[in-house]
Structure 1
């Protein structure tokens, strides 16, 4: 029997022993994807600097809520609690990688990795069935869940503290034609996007959410948590480089009943259930 997400030590490397690590090739690109659970699919995209114990804990909560989690390895060492120096090295490599567009000047298109993630969404839906799939992006991958909506199987997108592009805090990181296509789909299919940030987050500022709201309208549903709701018990990378509350359901989550971050987690799980679990299930 796997260990409860709550009883694991977030300061120790996570072996991910309760996930099935698969190498999945799509569109000529292969990536390791950690898969666990049964039920409709949810793709959990890691924050920087990789699949930490905090990210794995969130994936286990999704799994235990009745879903099949697909957690792709996009950067960093899977399951590791990295040092501050290793974390910043991972960050720098991702910023210059051809897969990611970390800066506004990188071009008028979404990060190329989102094409692979859309293909993963289509595969996950075929494997798991149900009305469609969910997707959550965090930090570096935050806005990817929106780009993935160009794949019709994605019905439950969650955007958590989207950080890109780094050099323009009022930009969305998505080209205008993608945003228009997403807005049209939200309205056509009566869908919504859940979006989360901490009030004082200096990486994902209020103007970024304002830009998303202007592009997507009231179907971009914003949740802003007070800074006092953020955990101070973070790992070395966060202690050195993330100076304000940032990671809503992972590194800055306080795993105690009644905490705003737990309420956010529960709202996300309920959102996935509402969109992905058949009404007669």
Structure 2
């Protein structure tokens, strides 16, 4: 379906995240190890926070491995909070407005998964979006509509509760249309200061999700690894699949869990849908 990463910590060049790891996101665009599809070539996007009060975005419909502009940008640009996503479409068109991450004000959002039988439930879900938000929907994906449902239910005030309400509505609408397992999701969202990531599916067999472990501990375990010495202690990653094979560097996020990353730490909280 898709692969993504969410980085926070001291500023790093984008190429350190997108190109240099052994199983980098660009590598995963051709050879994903844990995704439903091996190839994720239906476009990509990068979101980052710089000097402006809102995040920057770069979207392209080219495969990530083929885009020269991405390589040029990644060699120069650096940021302390980065969202990056490679897309494998589940049916919607390959166009820039369908590429993740999506943006609203200071917020970014990206999703791996699908709303099952989306054409059947799209109308019912769309009319649940706050009317003042609806004109800002630019693309045709289930992922963007999911984002605007979460915004409708208060994402900017309480992200876990808002996502729980959005998922609750999606499951309710889906089951009223006879869909047994209405949603499959790993989601990441951020306001530029905190990142929230969610792993959940209606069938209880969710797409893969991992978070990095403490960098200072890894330095002690691997004193000769130069990559670890280049990272600050507050560096944290949440990823669809590990960026490398270093033993102890990654922990799988359990089913039905919300990961909250703030500063140099993370908390894992139980997640379940709620009545909208």
Which TM-score band (shorter chain)? 0.3 to 0.5
Relative to its length, the structure with more helix (as a share) is: 1
Which structure ranks higher in relative contact order (CA pairs < 8 Å, sequence separation ≥ 6)? Answer: 2
State the TM-score, normalized to the length of structure 2. Answer: 0.35
State the TM-score, normalized to the length of structure 1. Answer: 0.35
